[in-house]
Structure 1
Amino acid sequence: MTTIRDVAKLAGVSPATVSRVLNNKGYVSEEKLKIIDKVIKEMNFQPNQVARGLTKKSSKTLALLVTDITNPFFSELAKGAEKITQQLGYSLLLGNTGGNNPEKNADYMNFLKNKYIDGFIIATHDIDVEVLKKNYKSPMVILEADKDIENLCTIKVDNYHGAIEATKHLLSIGCQKIAHIYGPQYDATAKDRLRGFKTSMKHQEGSSGIEYPGDFSIMSGIESIQELLKKHSDIDGIFAGNDLIAIGVVKELNRLKIKIPEQIAVCGFDGITLTQITSPEITTIEQPIYKMGELAAERLIYRINHSFNETESIELKAKLVIRESTVKSAIDSKQ
């Protein structure tokens, strides 16, 4: 591997002179600068960002903290963020907080505190934002925060109106008894989606709504629909708090040989690709997940390089994507 000493030797200068060029620090004559630049290009020399960070206290590294990387939502988000970081010359460190475990997350944050991280993208509700603000001076972008946070950039989707649209869609196809399997209420997205469902069902004459707790997992969907059917056998619509719950619901309804959507229609929320390969394919409220990752990285790098300390709040729209799980004709055409 080419080192700074190799570049210096071929350019006929000292390693210190090459270092000044790489770090844009200190005087180097125009003649030597041209020679060093030429050698760097010829040797395809890539500076060690970690070593440079020890001097500049910057590693050109961002940290993306997510709840669970096995959830396709976070995988898609990470892909969007990684695209931008690579384009702009940064590296992306992925942190998997792995659930609401304060002790584990405290250890994880202490680990990050000892590294040269230029900025954080926080896409998890497992870590207290106030703790981050108190202990870390690095720029941050927070995803899906339930309020504007002073001096930080927050990016979120309009979960409330997305939930209203999902519920209204189920009502529009004739569902009269709809259950909402909601996510953990420490999560701002889950709270907004539950609130949207309640708003939609509040003044619906002849229709009723049931609220049931879940945990944003496939297993939660399986277990929740089992319990719901025991207590409410006349349910004809399910609005799942996220797509993983919806997948679990569809899986269990198929096992029970309950027809979707003739007997029970199902709508999810997120727009992950797995909803397109289930049988039937699942109607969902689609978030611009990839774009959220791109935007988070763009705004974070901008704040790193421009000392941008003002509060920013960006809200994106979600859209209803109708598929087989709520369209009777789509199922009939296959029979």
Structure 2
Amino acid sequence: MASIKDVAGRAGVSVATVSRVLNDKGYVSEESRKKVQQAIKDLNYKPNAVARSLFNKQSKTIGLMVPDIMNPFFPELARAVEDTLAELGYTVILCNSDEDTDKEQSYLEMMMQKYVDGLIVSSNTLSAERVKEFKMPIVSMDREIAKGLPSIIVENKKGAKMAVSFLKEKGRKRIAHIRGPHSVGNAIDRCEGYREVVGGEPWFKESYIAYGNYDMKTSINATIKLLKLHPEIDGIFAANDISAIGAIKAVHKLGKKVPEDVAIVGFDGITLSEATTPELTTIAQPIYEMGEKAAKMLVEMIKQQQVEQTIYRLDVQLIERQST
């Protein structure tokens, strides 16, 4: 394998001249440039990516940290980020934090050592104070970490109100909620949206809200307990699609039918929601657009370009399917 010294020798120039040509920095005569380029071609020379990143102070690598890779929402989001960054000439290091503070910290330190150019994070454990410690561009996605931090999020409360109002329009009289983690901002917003629609109903009780933790198994158990406690429930708004799929499973376990006995609406719009039986009615987020915008915004920040907008609050839409 040819080295930069081999290229310099064949072209009859110094190693420094070859370096300037490779990095397109500093003056090089047109004659010398052509000699170097021909030598690179003749020797099939491949520049050392690590050495170039040290020279340029850029690695062309982005860190992407998600909280739960088992939730299909995040692989779909990661795909959008990776597609967009690949087109822009960047590679991605994917980290799954499992919403574990220590694991998240370990990943962040690793990415700092790997000299990544920037970070895209979806986290409910990363604090605003911690973000300030990292001297690199950071974009938050799906979850708003701190005021002022560039973020791509959706209209969570609006979407929740759409879901619950839709269930009421379908004639459902007792609507429950399978909520997400208490520490996650979008779960809080979705629960507040639910409360705004049914909180004033004479039948409403706090026990109509069950904890699903954005997890299928937890949501199955929560729904079973909920329906045993309140057998009159005929509608459920789940805070994400995975919880909604768990709720469908729980209804069937209890010998009831969806939507005849209990109508169910989820939130996210993941591809899997079309593969359930019955197919899931959901509040769909523009998942690909979220990832694409986050990636493009981060690259603009890395290049120190003017970022026109730092907070994007994208709209959602209700997709009606068989579960209602």
Structure 2 length-normalised TM: 0.92
One of 147, 166, 169 as aligned partner of 1:169: 166
Amino acid of the residue matched to residue 174 of structure 1? G
The one-character-per-residue Cα deviations of 1:79-102 (angstroms, maximum 9, x if unpaired) are: 111111111111111111112x22
8 Å CA contact retained: 1:282, 1:325: yes
- Looking at structure 2, the residues matched to 316 and 112 of structure 1 have their Cα atoms a distance apart, in angstroms, of 29
8 Å CA contact retained: 1:178, 1:237: yes
What corresponds to 1:129 in structure 2?
128
- Indicate how the Cα distance of structure 1 residues 292 and 80 shifts in structure 2: closer, same or farther if over 3 A, else same: same
- Looking at structure 2, the residues matched to 113 and 121 of structure 1 have their Cα atoms a distance apart, in angstroms, of 13
- Looking at structure 2, the residues matched to 147 and 58 of structure 1 have their Cα atoms a distance apart, in angstroms, of 26
The one-character-per-residue Cα deviations of 1:175-229 (angstroms, maximum 9, x if unpaired) are: 1111111101211110110011111113457777821122101112211111101
Shift of 1:77: 0.8
What corresponds to 2:72 in structure 1?
72
8 Å CA contact retained: 2:127, 2:145: no
- Looking at structure 1, the residues matched to 44 and 316 of structure 2 have their Cα atoms a distance apart, in angstroms, of 44
Amino acid of the residue matched to residue 75 of structure 1? P
Shift of 1:309: 7.6
Amino acid of the residue matched to residue 110 of structure 2? F
What corresponds to 2:108 in structure 1?
109
Do residues 187 (structure 1) and 184 (structure 2) align?
yes
What corresponds to 1:199 in structure 2?
196
What corresponds to 1:258 in structure 2?
256
- Indicate how the Cα distance of structure 1 residues 282 and 51 shifts in structure 2: closer, same or farther if over 3 A, else same: same
- Indicate how the Cα distance of structure 1 residues 206 and 48 shifts in structure 2: closer, same or farther if over 3 A, else same: same
Shift of 1:17: 1.9
Matches within 5 A, 1:88-107: 88-99=88-99, 101-107=100-106
Unaligned runs of at least 5 residues, structure 2: none
- Looking at structure 1, the residues matched to 231 and 268 of structure 2 have their Cα atoms a distance apart, in angstroms, of 27
8 Å CA contact retained: 2:157, 2:192: yes
8 Å CA contact retained: 1:181, 1:240: yes
Unaligned runs of at least 5 residues, structure 1: 327-335
| Equivalent position SS for 2:323 | helix
- Looking at structure 1, the residues matched to 7 and 224 of structure 2 have their Cα atoms a distance apart, in angstroms, of 67
8 Å CA contact retained: 1:148, 1:311: no
The one-character-per-residue Cα deviations of 1:9-35 (angstroms, maximum 9, x if unpaired) are: 554434332211122222211112133
Matches within 5 A, 1:182-261: 182-204=179-201, 210-261=208-259
Shift of 1:320: 0.3
What corresponds to 1:138 in structure 2?
136
Do residues 53 (structure 1) and 53 (structure 2) align?
yes
Count of aligned positions = 323
Shift of 1:256: 2.9
- Indicate how the Cα distance of structure 1 residues 258 and 77 shifts in structure 2: closer, same or farther if over 3 A, else same: same
- Looking at structure 2, the residues matched to 278 and 129 of structure 1 have their Cα atoms a distance apart, in angstroms, of 38
**% of aligned pairs identical?**
43
What corresponds to 1:312 in structure 2?
310
8 Å CA contact retained: 2:180, 2:214: yes
The one-character-per-residue Cα deviations of 1:147-168 (angstroms, maximum 9, x if unpaired) are: 7623x31111000100000001
The one-character-per-residue Cα deviations of 1:90-138 (angstroms, maximum 9, x if unpaired) are: 1111111112x222322222222222111111112132232021x2110
- Indicate how the Cα distance of structure 1 residues 215 and 119 shifts in structure 2: closer, same or farther if over 3 A, else same: same
Bigger shift: residues 1-10 or 225-234: 1-10
Amino acid of the residue matched to residue 127 of structure 1? L
8 Å CA contact retained: 2:175, 2:234: yes
Shift of 1:173: 0.6
8 Å CA contact retained: 1:66, 1:95: yes
**CA RMSD, 1 decimal:** 2.3
The one-character-per-residue Cα deviations of 1:229-277 (angstroms, maximum 9, x if unpaired) are: 1210111011001001011111222233311100000100001111111
Shift of 1:318: 0.8
Shift of 1:170: 0.7
Amino acid of the residue matched to residue 300 of structure 1? L
- Looking at structure 2, the residues matched to 66 and 218 of structure 1 have their Cα atoms a distance apart, in angstroms, of 18
Amino acid of the residue matched to residue 255 of structure 1? K
- Looking at structure 2, the residues matched to 208 and 265 of structure 1 have their Cα atoms a distance apart, in angstroms, of 19
